[in-house]
Structure 1
Amino acid sequence: MKAWIRDLVVALALAFIILQFIKPTIVRENSMEPTLHDGDYIFLSRQSYTFGEPKRGDIIVFHTELKTETGSEKLLIKRIIGLPGDVIDIEDGLV
């Protein structure tokens, strides 16, 4: 087998394996500023909560029923501010 074919097969196999654990994504909102900005590139861990529970302060990305302008699924990115049993107070629009 030619060396470049072997290298290509290895590169594709590595890319496939890596993409099982992480997902590159572009932020498409500004609700997380100044931490994340519209247009920022981020990598999402597909395994983060396989081995542990979410913690206060974690940034999560989740599916919603919302749609983008093009009709595709909209993902939201937010910071966890409370855990089960916590009481969250909102006064004058502030948490």
Structure 2
Amino acid sequence: MERLVQDKTYSYYEYAKEQEFEQVIVQQSNHIFGSNSFYRDIKKRIGDSIITIPDGYLIDFSFEAEPRLYIIENELSSHDPYKHIGSHLIKLNS
């Protein structure tokens, strides 16, 4: 299987550990999110009573008049999206 590489060849690769996948996201963030974006791998809790810890934050400056902030959750395909990503979304809306 191929990996995410700098010459912009993106092919399916199954990472064994989420930490390895997250490191690639940080290293390749400009290629993944675009050069008009700013990605930060900051694991900071959000909330007081209901706590969630996203994997990172992305500020997208593609829309000059209205930059957008995205909360990023990186997950392996082997993880249940409802349990791992859905729970974060529900907590953010609480």
Q: Same fold (TM over 0.5)?
A: no
Name whichever structure is richer in strand by fraction.
1
Tell me which interval the TM-score lies in, with the shorter structure as reference length. under 0.3
Name whichever structure is richer in helix by fraction.
2
Q: Which has the higher contact order (CA 8 A, sep 6+)?
A: 2
Larger Rg: 1
The two structures have a TM-score, normalised by structure 1, of 0.26
The two structures have a TM-score, normalised by structure 2, of 0.26
